[in-house]
Structure 1
Amino acid sequence: MPTITTVAFDADDTLWHNERFFRLTQERFAALLEDFADPSHLDERLLDAERRNVGRYGFGIKGFTLSMIETAIEVTEERVPASVIREIIAAGQDMLAHPIELLPHARETVTSLSSRYRILLVTKGDLLDQERKLAQSGLGDLFDAVEIVSQKTPEVYDAIFRRHGVAAGSAVMVGNSMKSDVVPMIEAGGWGVYVPHGLTWALEHADAPEGHPRFREIADLGALPDLLEEIAA
């Protein structure tokens, strides 16, 4: 089995909190439209809009904000007040300004591993927002390279590791999304380590590759160093 030389981390909800800000904004959105739609129905309509729009706008807060505006127009049959649109835009701007809060063990784990492995950050989303969050996290100097991509597919992972002179088989991808971080990395020939987060966006759900020899799950990032030692044994 190849020696592990490289550890790649997802960012949002792996190293720092992210989804909870979307949930809070969604509650704010529901309150703004409570006279027009039941919250559960509104959630379904918003998710449908996000699903349609992710290919147009990509992942992140800007696409989410545009999906909220589109949903507001639809559920009100184009009668949504301009003041509500203004509030939706303000909610999106608030999300873009939220402070970064690291998840437990993120800093010490990345710091510890940086002396033994090549460390990459591989995240998807809006370029400016992801760069902002990385700068505020205080972790930027610990990464040998940062890759901000529009999608995470086996082909994207293969290209990333080739670009950095690493075979996917000698790399581990660590993240909270089975769909984006684990499954495509394994399909690329590498290791996928799943770190569950209490909140996961519906469009990031996928079945776990149970029984696959290169799939692992840990409770939190604090368990990662021991897991890497186990894989190397």
Structure 2
Amino acid sequence: MEVDYRKITVIGFDADDTLWVNETYFREAEEEFCSLLEKYETKNKVDQELFKMEIKNLNLYGYGIKGFMLSMIESALELSNNKISQATITEIIEIGKRMLSHPVELLEGVEEVLQKLEDRYRLIVLTKGDLLDQERKLEKSGLSKYFHHVEVLSDKKEINYQHLLDHLEIPVSEFLMIGNSLKSDVLPLINIGAQAVHVPFHTTWAHEEVPVEQQGNGHLTLNTLTDILKYLPEGKAATTKN
């Protein structure tokens, strides 16, 4: 199956774990959280209960560090039968604050790719999470100069993408999305008739995992972001790789 990118005029980039490191810091925070709760439950149990709490709270808090912090506090209260100390709650809050103030670590090749594409395409950021945190990371990254538009979505489903493309007057046939999540950055775009490229990150949140039988084959899967440059020269069509 061939994918022709000659009609592409707009390229959307996911932010977390596509432009910069993100999930790694959540995993480190989970390790710290498990250590704080070790006298109440096993690490495996704490991990499981925290994940359940995060999913339960998504509709209330959305995605991002602040919601994660609140879920850690709520999980700590439940797992300890409300016996967790005030000092430990304070430590949990500090975990979240450290995450929010963490330096932005760009992934390899990101700026090279943006520099080579900025004059040829309209580049936009399409991410989800906490608005303030994502704006902070973009500012710290030094990448904002490359993008024509930045959108922080509450979720990344077909309807969210379609509404945004309609609002920005971008034909789906001219749009390409690049991201690390099949569930959020690839499949929804394929389903509305756009193009998508999957650049996996070495760590994936369980909520973003997609069963093999649902992964589809209408998209490119690349090892690194810089590989996209091989498929975007003018007039060249790309062949799907999965």
TM-score normalised by the shorter chain: which range applies? Answer: over 0.9
1:209 lines up with 2:215 in the alignment: yes
2:196 and 2:129 map into 1 onto residues whose CA distance is 20
1:3 lines up with 2:14 in the alignment: no
1:144 lines up with 2:144 in the alignment: no
Unaligned runs of 5+ in 1: none
Correspondence for 1:108: 112
2:238 and 2:164 map into 1 onto residues whose CA distance is 23
Displacement of 1:211: 2.8
- The one-letter code of the counterpart of 1:20 is T
% same residue: 42
- The one-letter code of the counterpart of 1:78 is N
Correspondence for 1:134: 138
Q: Is the 8 A contact 1:3 1:232 kept in 2?
A: no
Match 1:76 to one of 67, 77, 80? 80
1:63 and 1:231 map into 2 onto residues whose CA distance is 42
Residues 162-197 of structure 1: CA deviation (Å, up to 9, x unaligned): 222211121110000111000111112101110010
Residues 14-60 of structure 1: CA deviation (Å, up to 9, x unaligned): 00000111111111101111111100110000000011001110000
Match 1:191 to one of 189, 195, 210? 195
- The one-letter code of the counterpart of 1:146 is V
Correspondence for 2:129: 125
Displacement of 1:157: 1.0
Unaligned runs of 5+ in 2: none
TM-score by length of 1: 0.96
TM-score by length of 2: 0.92
Q: Secondary structure at the match of 2:119?
A: coil
Q: How many residues align?
A: 231
Correspondence for 1:224: 228
1:226 and 1:161 map into 2 onto residues whose CA distance is 26
Q: Secondary structure at the match of 1:146?
A: strand
1:195 and 1:63 map into 2 onto residues whose CA distance is 26
- The one-letter code of the counterpart of 2:136 is R
Match 1:169 to one of 148, 168, 173? 173
Structure with the bigger RCO (C-alpha within 8 Å, sep 6+) is 2
Displacement of 1:232: 6.6
- The one-letter code of the counterpart of 1:161 is L
